[in-house]
Each structure stands twice: as C-alpha cells, then as structure tokens.
C-alpha cells in the first residue's frame, strides 16, 4: 500500500494515514461461521485459490472445489466468487463453494450448510425406495424423489453415478442423518439466472425460451429463470382461435420483448411471436429478389433439400423445370449446385421454399431496374463508339484529291442502246 507512487500534493504522512485507516477498517471486520461473502480471486496456488474478501488476511478456497472432473480450474485471477465461511480465523478465513466438492466433510458441516444455505455436492450412489442415496464427502445422505427436479420424476436410475448439487433441508443425530433437496438448489439457481437476465430484458430484444404452459389467453414462456407471457393476439400475424393451434408445451420458441413492468406481484414481461414472424416475412419479401447459389444436401420424393446463404429449405420438383419424366435425383445429385431464389418463407416456422424456375424472372426485373436507373439512356456507350470511329477515319490516308464525277441534276448521262 505504501509503495504506491505519491501523486501531486501527497506526502508520506498522508499516505501512511490512509494506509492505517484502511488497515483498521479491515481489522474491524469480523467474519462469522456460515456467513456468505463475495470476493475477488487474487492468486492461484497449487492447493488453494486465494480471495480478497476485505480482511487483513486473504481468504482461501481449496483448489479442488474450483476444478472440473479433468482437474482444469474454472476460475481466473480477477474473477469474483461467492462462498461460505467455514473457518472465520482473521489471519486467513477458509471458504467453501459447496461442501463435499473438495473431498471429505465433517458431520458438523451439514448443520453449517443448513444454517447458511450453502450448497453441498454429492455423488448419487443408488436409487432406493422413495428417492436417492447420496454420498457427500464420505457421509451418506438422502434426497426424496419429490425433491430431485422442479417437476416429478418417475425413473430415478439415470441419476445414479452423477455428481449433483443439493441444499440441506434437515439434519438429525448430529449430522449422521441428512436430508437433501436438489429441487431447492435448482430453484435458487433459477433465481440467480433471473437476476442476471434482467439486464437483457430491454423492450425490443429477442430471447430464446420454452413454452411452459398453454392457456386460453395465451402462452407462458420460460426464459430460463424468468417467465413471460405471450397474449393470444401476439402469437401469429393471422387471427388465432386457440393457443394450442400455434404452440404446445415444451416447444422451443424465439420471442421479442414488448414491455417489462415492475408490479407488486413481481416483474410482468410481455412477449410476442407475431413481431418476429412479421419481420421474417418482410425479410423474405426482400430475399425473393436475390439469387442464391444452392447446394443439394438431400433428396426427397417431391424435391430437393438445398443449402444457401439464406438458410436451408425445400426446392420442389415443379420448381426445377425438368423435362417430363426426368428424375430429379439423377439430374441433381447430392453435392451438385444450382441457382435459386426464395419462393416462400413460412411466417410461423420460418421454413424456406426455393425456386429454380424463378431465377430468370428475378434477373429480368433486376436488369430492368438497372436500365430504369439510367433513365433508359445509353448515349454514353454510343458516344464512345462514335468517338472511336471518328478517330479511325481521321487516321485514314487520302489517296486522291480528284473530285468524283458529279451526278447532280443537270448533268448528261449517255446510255448505249442494245443492238
């Protein structure tokens, strides 16, 4: 701190005073067991990652807690972390991201995790009646079936062998009997994502989501931690009688944010599918006047699937201008190329339909527009040709200065009679 260069108007005494004030404020802080703190990674060691949490001594987290299965670290110097205090000693607090992630844990740690809300990580060892058996740092715990996912899960076997994060919901017999909830941890992560998503919820932004529920008035969209609503009038450009005619539960959708309102019941997010469909239709109208190079990627009984810069779509047989009885598969094998235009784009799904027969008409219209842009005049080109001819004539040498016989009016022409 004192090694900082003194700026203009500063002296050693003022720097010393500032340093002592900063040190006293840090010393005045006292961390408590189970407290959740946030700090910045300042150094990465062979066994520990050191974090500045505003204490005289730097806090540390076991390196194993921040590494993936292959041993690669998931953090870097300068990154901010949230962790739980498991040892509040002032010379260097010990933190934990998730109990059990770095190795063995003590039974007393579960009571601390329950009190602080810190997550625990364990490996599912087997599916038992009513739930899962989980090994958390050498301690056996239990997660009821109703607490595994946000929705009910019938088949538990796929979870065996997986490392998962949980919240401790009950501790008995001094930590020898522990009940876990993965559902509570998923809900917590969902809220964290929702807080991060608030920055992207600007009206006019486009987001990906999944249809969570279908109602008479519209559809509820899960945006990954936050829900929004698409009114039935915003489902499609055309009139929609029933919501389920357009979307179904589980459908992935891309929506546009219309408005975000902070009400007493929470955030109210209005979304639209219609706005994006109208934009795609407008883009398709422009795209129909552009010729694309297409590559055949697949054959269908009724046409070809081609790939272009505009996207992948169908090129029907009746848009290929083939001779009667010709096989489109032989005429255009996979990998062959041809020129196409966009004939249609579905306003709801965005699927493309191409045409090869329409290329000529598009090029004719393009040529006509270019001709019209010049006012229908081509004088510049003809003028240049005339200039060339004049220059050539000027360069031609004169072979005779004798005037040619005149055939003007008044001259006499003698004709010989045939015998």
Tens digits of per-residue pLDDT, 239-290? 888 999 889 998 888 899 998 887 766 678 899 998 887 666 555 555 567 8
User: In the predicted model, is pLDDT for residue 132 greater than 90?
Assistant: yes
Mean pLDDT of 27-39: 73
pLDDT at 324: 79
* Weakest-pLDDT range from 28-32, 45-49, 316-320: 28-32
**Token couple for 35:** 């407290």
| Portion of the chain with pLDDT greater than 90, in percent | 21
Give pLDDT, residue 214.
Answer: 92
Report the pLDDT value the prediction gives residue 371, as an integer from 0 to 100: 75
Rounded to whole angstroms, the Cα distance separating 316 from 187 reads 48
Mean pLDDT score, 181-189: 89
pLDDT at 158 over 80: yes
Question: Tokens for 15?
Answer: 């720097």
Mean pLDDT for all residues in the chain: 78
Residues 211-227, mean pLDDT to the nearest whole number: 88
What backbone torsions phi and psi does residue 397 show, to the nearest 5 degrees? Answer: -70, 145
Q: Regarding predicted confidence, which is higher, 26 or 145? A: 145
pLDDT above 80 (res 60): yes
Identify the top-confidence range among 81-85, 287-291, 395-399: 81-85
Helices (H), 321-358: 328-331
Name the pLDDT band for 12 (thresholds 50, 70, 90). Answer: low
Is residue 26 predicted with pLDDT exceeding 50?
no
Centre a 10 Å sphere on the Cβ of residue 362 and count the other Cβ atoms it contains: 18
Among 41-45, 186-190, 385-389, whose mean pLDDT is lowest? Answer: 385-389
Query: Is the predicted pLDDT of residue 373 greater than 90, yes or no?
Result: no
pLDDT of residue 406: 47
Q: State yes or no: pLDDT of 21 exceeds 60.
A: no
Instruction: Specify the higher pLDDT residue, 225 or 232.
Output: 232
Comparing 196 with 84, the larger pLDDT belongs to 84
In the predicted model, is pLDDT for residue 414 greater than 60? no
Spell out the domains of the chain, with CATH numbers in brackets: 26-96 (2.40.50.140), 108-189 (2.40.50.140), 201-278 (2.40.50.140), 288-365 (2.40.50.140)
Q: Is 144 a residue whose pLDDT tops 90?
A: yes
The two tokens of residue 371 are 């001709």
Is the pTM higher than 0.75? The answer reads no
How much is the pLDDT for 180?
94
For position 362, what pLDDT does the model report?
A: 83
Q: Is the pLDDT of residue 391 over 80?
A: no
- End-to-end alpha-carbon separation of the chain, Å? 134
Q: Percent of the chain having pLDDT more than 70?
A: 75
Is the model's pLDDT at 25 over the cut of 90? no
| pLDDT tens-place string over residues 66-76 | 877 677 887 88
What b/e sequence results for 267-305 when a residue is b if at least 16 CB atoms lie within 10 Å of its CB, and e otherwise? eebbbbbbbbbeebbeebeebeeebbebebeeeeeebbb
Residue 20: the pLDDT is: 46
Q: Look at residue 239 and give its three-state secondary structure.
A: coil
Q: Give me the pLDDT at residue 387, please.
A: 57
Question: What is the model's pLDDT at position 175?
Answer: 65
Residue 410 has pLDDT above 60, yes or no: no
Of 118, 114, 78, 72, residue with least CA distance to 95: 118
Query: Other C-beta atoms within 10 Å of 355: how many?
Result: 20
**pLDDT confidence tier of residue 230, bands split at 50, 70 and 90:** very high
Higher pLDDT, 400 or 187: 187
pLDDT tens for each residue of 88-107:
887 788 888 877 776 667 77
């Amino acid at each position: 701190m004192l090694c900082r260069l003194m700026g203009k108007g500063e002296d050693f005494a003022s720097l010393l005073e500032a340093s002592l004030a900063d040190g006293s404020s840090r010393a005045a802080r006292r961390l408590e067991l189970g407290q959740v703190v946030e700090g910045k990674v300042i150094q990465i060691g062979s066994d520990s990652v050191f974090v500045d949490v505003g204490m005289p001594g730097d806090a540390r987290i076991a390196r194993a807690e921040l590494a993936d299965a292959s041993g690669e670290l998931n953090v870097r110097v300068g990154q901010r972390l949230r962790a739980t205090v498991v040892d509040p000693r002032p010379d260097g607090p010990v933190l934990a991201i998730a109990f059990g992630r770095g190795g063995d844990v003590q039974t007393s740690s579960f009571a601390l995790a329950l009190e602080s809300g810190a997550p625990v990580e364990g490996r599912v060892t087997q599916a038992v009646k009513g739930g899962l058996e989980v090994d958390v740092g050498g301690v056996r715990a239990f997660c009821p079936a109703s607490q595994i996912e946000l929705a009910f899960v019938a088949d538990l076997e796929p979870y065996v062998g997986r490392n998962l994060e949980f919240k401790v919901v009950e501790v008995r017999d001094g930590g020898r009997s522990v009940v876990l909830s993965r559902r509570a941890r998923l809900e917590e992560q969902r809220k964290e994502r929702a807080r991060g998503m608030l920055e992207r919820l600007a009206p006019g932004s486009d987001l990906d989501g999944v249809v969570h529920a279908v109602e008479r008035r519209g559809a509820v969209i899960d945006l990954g931690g936050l829900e929004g609503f698409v009114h039935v009038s915003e489902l499609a450009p055309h009139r929609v009688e029933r919501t389920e005619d357009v979307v179904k539960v589980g459908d992935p959708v891309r929506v546009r944010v219309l408005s975000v309102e902070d009400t007493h019941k929470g955030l109210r997010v209005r979304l639209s599918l219609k706005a994006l469909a109208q934009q795609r239709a407008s883009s398709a109208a422009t795209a129909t006047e552009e010729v694309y190079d297409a590559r055949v990627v697949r054959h269908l009984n009724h046409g070809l699937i081609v790939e272009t810069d505009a996207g992948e779509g169908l090129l029907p047989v009746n848009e290929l201008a083939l001779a009667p009885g010709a096989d489109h598969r032989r005429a255009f094998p996979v990998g062959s190329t041809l020129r196409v235009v966009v004939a249609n784009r579905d306003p709801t799904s965005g699927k493309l339909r191409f045409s090869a027969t329409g290329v000529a008409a598009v090029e004719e219209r393009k040529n006509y527009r270019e001709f019209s842009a010049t006012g229908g005049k081509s004088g510049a080109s003809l003028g240049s040709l005339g200039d060339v001819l004049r220059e050539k004539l000027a360069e031609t040498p004169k072979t005779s200065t004798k005037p040619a016989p005149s055939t003007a009016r008044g001259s006499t022409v003698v004709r010989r009679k045939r015998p």
